[in-house]
């Protein structure tokens, strides 16, 4: 089975609220493998590149101000269908529309403080992982439980 990699950010509100471990645990519990992780302060330059598709929209400045307001935890997760699985686990962008059991449904309050970011598709994932991680910061490794998570039968 083909493995995908995706970017997940624990946003400033998730870090400030002490939810880093809880959020990472949710992803690991699905079988996703952390292949890159770092606590970092997002610069305005990185934020503008990350949110470049929204430049010129009324909410763009707010996105940049928010993501640069406090540290984030950047994760590169790997697994089969990693993008779809992480997006499902995060829940709808608006926490009041996210079902219970999702990160945003369980811990989110409002759309501008929705705890996590995840890549929307394969192209975004490749671009975003490249923005937040160098190749040397991503580690390929095997886990002893991988045979119970990913089948050879595909």
Active site residues: 117
The three-state (H, E, C) secondary structure of 30-47, written as one string = CCCEEEEEEEECCCHHHH
Give the distance, in angstroms, between the CA of residue 143 and the centroid of all CA atoms in the same chain.
Answer: 21
Those residues with Cβ within 8 angstroms of residue 20's Cβ, 6 or more apart along the chain or in another chain = 10, 14, 73
Residue 115 DSSP code? S
Sign of CA dihedral 141, 20, 51, 41: negative
């Amino acid at each position: 089975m083909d493995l995908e990699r995706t970017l997940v950010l624990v946003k400033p509100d998730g870090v400030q609220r002490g939810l880093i471990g809880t959020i990472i645990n949710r992803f690991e519990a699905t079988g996703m493998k952390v292949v890159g992780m770092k606590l970092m302060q997002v610069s305005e330059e990185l934020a503008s590149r990350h949110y470049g598709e929204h430049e010129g929209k009324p909410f763009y400045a707010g996105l940049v101000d928010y993501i640069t307001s406090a540290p984030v935890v950047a994760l590169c997760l790997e697994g089969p269908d990693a993008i779809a699985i992480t997006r499902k686990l995060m829940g709808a962008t608006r926490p009041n529309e996210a079902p219970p059991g999702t990160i945003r449904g369980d811990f989110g309050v409002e759309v501008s403080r929705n705890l996590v970011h995840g890549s929307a598709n394969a192209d975004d994932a490749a671009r975003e992982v490249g923005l937040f991680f160098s190749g040397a910061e991503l580690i390929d490794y095997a886990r002893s439980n991988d045979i119970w998570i990913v089948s050879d039968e595909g």
